[in-house]
Amino acid sequence: MGLEAAEKWLHQCSRCSSCKYLYRNYSPSCPSGEKFWFETFWASGRVWIANALHAGKIQWSDSIIKAIYACPLCGNCAAQCQQDIGPHLLEIMEALREEAVRVGVGPLEVHKAFAAGIEKEENPYGELHRNRLKWIGKTELPREAEICFFVGCTSSYRQQEIAQATLSVLKKIGADFTISADEWCCGSPLLRTGQTELVEAIAKHNIEVAQKINAKRIIFSCAGCFRTFKEDYPKILKSDLGIEVSHVSEYLYDLLKEGKLELTKSFPHRVTYHDPCHLGRHTGVYDPPRELLKAIPKLELVEMSRTREKAWCCGAGGGVKSGFKEWSVDIAINRIEEAEKTNAEYLVSSCPFCHRNLADAIEKRSSNLKILDITEILNSCL
């Protein structure tokens, strides 16, 4: 794959700069461009780098490697671009990374641990696979069910409170669901850093896991896993998955609309919602989380100035959290400052990776904001 797959789009950027700012708003849209303030760190610069590399006009260098990996792949450039190339910008960014790996100059050294951990223990953290469901405790689940809850690595090994809240919500509403101890990393950390060699086998395995439990639907509390199944797997496997995939907010919103979900307990607080890039810009899921929050008695939902397709990235994606640790948190601090302006008590999101980085930013800034995943609020209101 690599740049060959994106070749027809590499000459389409006229460098009009619409990718650099929110369309007709002119607020900043690109974390890496705002940080490094040099053309190669904006989407337009990376497209021209890709074009020149593919044509053999320039050679790989350390500065080019830094430029292509200093991007959280948030997709805000694609949302703001007003040219035909817009929908293909993320494709080009990921193709650049895949090309770097193909020719042996990428990924960043720290990203190689993702592949090593997944090869050895089926997760990028290198944690023991046998401990993947340790957070469940003594909870017993059926071997087969209509719904497969795909937990993901971050909730399994790091943000376990999100996995536990989702499990509790599903039990409280009487969902016919189960969780498989045989799930593997979805492959997103590999795809986002250009290490694609293992992903086809991973995709086949995870779909087979759902098929073995006779699931008709897979639900996710992790936006990254959801995006990977919904957007990447069909392309990788070159076929329809044959099974419905939904973020947990979509699933619960469907029940709410059908009158099968009642949020009876109040949450008398002012909250603001952060759109995860994988859930919002990448898959178009904006309304379900908001409608669920609005259905909670006494909860007041207030919006930040940049929301939905214009939302500022949390800074954790695309390998930036591991490759540029301090800067990743600084990106999130920008979002925390924006949330504070709403006078909200709680910042709510629907992605464990956003949760982690936004929490780190709250701590670094000594902010009074409190952060919750949407499943945690819903669990407290059932």
| 139 and 190 share one domain | yes
Q: Which two tokens stand for residue 247?
A: 């973020």
Q: What is the pLDDT of residue 5?
A: 80
Q: Which two tokens stand for residue 138?
A: 């003594």
| 155 and 279 share one domain | no
For 320-359, b/e burial (b = at least 16 CB within 10 A) is bbbbbeebbbbbbbbbbebbbebebebbbbbbbbbbbbbb
Give the whole-angstrom CA distance, residue 124 versus residue 139: 26
List per-residue pLDDT tens for the chain, 382 residues long.
Answer: 678 888 888 988 888 999 999 988 889 999 999 999 999 999 999 999 999 999 999 999 999 999 999 999 999 999 999 999 999 999 999 999 999 999 999 999 999 999 999 999 999 999 999 999 999 999 999 999 999 999 999 999 999 999 999 999 999 999 999 999 999 999 999 999 999 999 999 999 999 999 999 999 999 999 999 999 999 999 999 999 999 999 999 999 999 999 999 999 999 999 999 999 999 999 999 999 999 999 999 999 999 999 999 999 999 999 999 999 999 999 999 999 999 999 999 999 999 999 999 999 999 999 999 999 999 999 999 9
211 close to 203: Cβ distance less than 8 angstroms: no
| 153 and 195 share one domain | yes
**Site of tokens 């003594």:** 138
| 120 and 247 share one domain | yes
Q: How many domains does the chain have?
A: 3
pLDDT tens across 171-189, in order?
Answer: 999 999 999 999 999 999 9
CATH code at position 287: 3.40.50.1860
| 200 and 174 share one domain | yes
Chosen domain end from 225, 255, 285: 255
| 250 and 136 share one domain | yes
Which pTM value belongs to this model? Answer: 0.97
Instruction: Give, in order, the Cα–Cα distances in Å from 258 to each of 146, 147, 170, 251.
Output: 18, 18, 16, 11
For residue 20, give every residue at least 6 positions away whose Cβ sits within 8 Å of its Cβ, in sequence order, or none.
28, 29, 30, 33, 42, 43, 44, 77, 80
Chosen domain end from 106, 133, 160: 106
Q: Which two tokens stand for residue 149?
A: 């809850």
* Residues pairing with 310 in the sheet: none
Q: Which two tokens stand for residue 114?
A: 């993702």
Which domain covers residue 248, as residue numbers? 112-255
Q: What is the pLDDT of residue 8?
A: 85
Q: What is the pLDDT of residue 2?
A: 77
Q: What is the pLDDT of residue 1?
A: 61
Chosen domain end from 106, 136, 169: 106
pLDDT tens across 283-295, in order?
Answer: 999 999 999 999 9
| 116 and 245 share one domain | yes
| 247 and 276 share one domain | no
DSSP assignment letter at 300: E
| 59 and 165 share one domain | no
| 99 and 211 share one domain | no
Average pLDDT over all residues of the chain: 96
| 152 and 244 share one domain | yes
| 291 and 337 share one domain | yes
